[in-house]
Amino acid sequence: MADIKKKVVFSKEQKTLIEDIVKDESFSHNDWTKVEKKEPLQALRSYIRKHYRTEQMAKCAYCKKDVSVQSASNCQVEHIAPKEKYKDYMFHPKNLCVACADCNAIKWNRDTIKPIKSGERKRYPSSSRAFLLVHPHFDDYTDHIDIFSDRWYVDKTKKGHFTIGLCKLNQRSVDFGYFEPDEMMVLAEDLRAAKANGSRQLVGLIKDRIRKLLDD
């Protein structure tokens, strides 16, 4: 089951506000933080933040670490398909979630939708398949990524691999000296192979080894 079960629902007034923003000819992705639009948009952003913070049980959509339950600075409203590239999806309920400040900043404007063969995409994709990353509205995170000791991420699928790279999830721990990347890479490879071979005992042993390395 997908991580997010309930998308945000906008009131009549909020929908009107969104329509006003979007139909403005000068509308661009910068409007999200634009000064003159700040007041009504700020209330809308708080509303979105509150909804997804609760829905995601105060966990970042990408690294699964805690987001702030009080302040907005470490619980950012995140556009899953970047607003720089897809401004029409800026207020699409399924394109919104919350993320920690690091994931939001590192992910930045990288594209997360698979390119289509011909023409332009008109509607927001309605299935997991259209996305490169683990999408909180369509995917179950645990199907794609294993997390060890809160700081080592092992991909189980292509989407998992993309998401780990997109948000540099392991790189952060390497940078802070939590572990040697080479050894962990080898173990991650072994883990994948053991899983592919269906060797449960070996999977358990490798997982224990990874945890031990991280806890030392």
The site for Zn ion (CB under 5 A) is made up of 60, 62-63, 100, 103
Instruction: With beta carbons less than 8 A apart as the criterion, state whether 90 and 39 touch.
Output: no
* C-alpha distance from residue 97 to each of 91, 166, 211 (Å): 11, 16, 30
Q: How far is the CB of 65 from Zn ion (least distance, A)?
A: 5
- The minimum distance between CB 76 and Zn ion, in angstroms, equals 9
Residue among 8 and 60 whose Cβ is closer to Zn ion: 60
Q: Phi, psi (5° rounding) for residue 81? A: -90, 125
Nearer to Zn ion, 22 or 57 (CB): 57
Closest CB to Zn ion among 40 and 165?
Answer: 165
For 88, the token pair is 């029409």
* Residue 83, token pair as written in the block: 């607003």
**Which tokens hold the place of 16?**
């009107």
Q: How far is the CB of 170 from Zn ion (least distance, A)?
A: 13
Q: How far is the CB of 211 from Zn ion (least distance, A)?
A: 21
Pick 62 or 89: Cβ nearer Zn ion = 62
Residue 5 Cβ vs Zn ion, minimum distance, rounded to whole Å: 20
Amino acid at 132: L
Contact 29, 83 (CB under 8 A): yes
Contact 55, 48 (CB under 8 A): no
Question: Between residues 100 and 206, which has the closer beta carbon with respect to Zn ion?
Answer: 100
Question: What does the chain come to in residues?
Answer: 216
- Beta strands (DSSP E) in the chain are 76-79, 96-99, 145-148, 152-155
